[in-house]
Amino acid sequence: MRHFEQELEQLRTTIIRMASLVDEQIDAGVRAILEPDVDLARRVIERDQDVDAFDNDIDHLCMRMFALTQPVAIDLRLLMAALKINNELERIGDIAVNLAERVEPLARHAAFVKKTRISEMANAARTMVKHAIDAFVNSDANLARAILEEDDRIDSLDAENFRKMIEAMQESPEHILPASHVMMVSRHIERMADHATNIAEDVIFIINARIIKHHAEEHKKP
């Protein structure tokens, strides 16, 4: 049993380390767009291999624990959720790369980008990811539920960005290229928030043994 507990702690630690790297990737990807900084964007793309390495390590650790320990109850839920959280973090890492890939085509349109709400939206989504990992580390179901509510704000900002970019395209043909890229950036950030929400749902599953996917509205505060 002691060996199993040590492996659980190793699993938690590895997920936290992966989450820290993913957070750095998000921050760098967004900064690269807003500054703009093509070199920083390239570093984000290069470091994605480190995120993938964590993904593989966590998968292998979980599979070994499943095979050798036959966990039950909360330990089983933790392993099941860890696999899903690992997948969500890997996808968030991919989103950071997607953001970095938009830097070069947007580099000549920095003034246009700064007039959008991309910075606000990205900061809010990044906070959701941080809080989702905090909820996992601290077994905090209340914090996890609060994340479900924040997702609505991100959806609203994404819709607003989409609407304003359509208006900008209609105003001038010069805006078509940057506006189309901003729309894609906004959608990537919206997906990032969705992944944070999925992590929050996994945390609630670990703590309360309840699957709330597709029923998130029932678990928001009144």
The pLDDT-based confidence of 215 (bands split at 50, 70, 90) is very low
**Structural domain count of the chain:** 1
Confidence of residue 4 (pLDDT cuts 50, 70, 90): confident
Picking from 87, 60, 85, the residue whose alpha carbon sits closest to that of residue 137 is 85
- Closest to 195 measured CA to CA, from 141, 147, 145: 147
Please compute the mean of the pLDDT values over residues 184-212 and round it to a whole number: 93
pLDDT band at 67 (very low <50, low <70, confident <90, very high): confident
Q: What is the pLDDT of residues 127-161, one digit of tens each?
A: 999 999 999 989 999 999 999 999 999 999 999 99
Q: Can you give the CATH number for the domain in which 121 is found?
A: 1.20.58.220
By percentage, how much of the chain surpasses pLDDT 90? 82
d(CA 102, CA 182): 9
Under the banding of pLDDT at 50, 70 and 90, the label for residue 90 is very high
pLDDT exceeds cutoff 90 at 70: no
Range of the domain at 151: 2-219
Asked which of 10-19, 20-29, 66-75, 201-210 is least confident by mean pLDDT, the reply is: 66-75
The three-class DSSP label of residue 68 is helix
**Euclidean distance between CA atoms 150 and 184, whole angstroms:** 21
pLDDT recorded at residue 72: 81
Q: Is-contact 112 175, C-beta < 8 A?
A: yes
Higher-confidence residue of 220 and 186: namely: 186
* Listed ranges 39-53, 58-72, 129-143, 196-210; the one with the highest mean pLDDT: 39-53
Whether residue 216 has pLDDT greater than 70: no
- H/E element, 146: helix 141-171
Asked if the model's pLDDT at residue 1 lies above 60, the reply is no
Q: Token match 């997906």: residue?
A: 191
Counting residues of the chain whose pLDDT is more than 70, the rounded percentage is 94
Evaluate if residue 214 carries a pLDDT over 80.
no
Mean of pLDDT over the chain? 92
N residues, the chain: 222
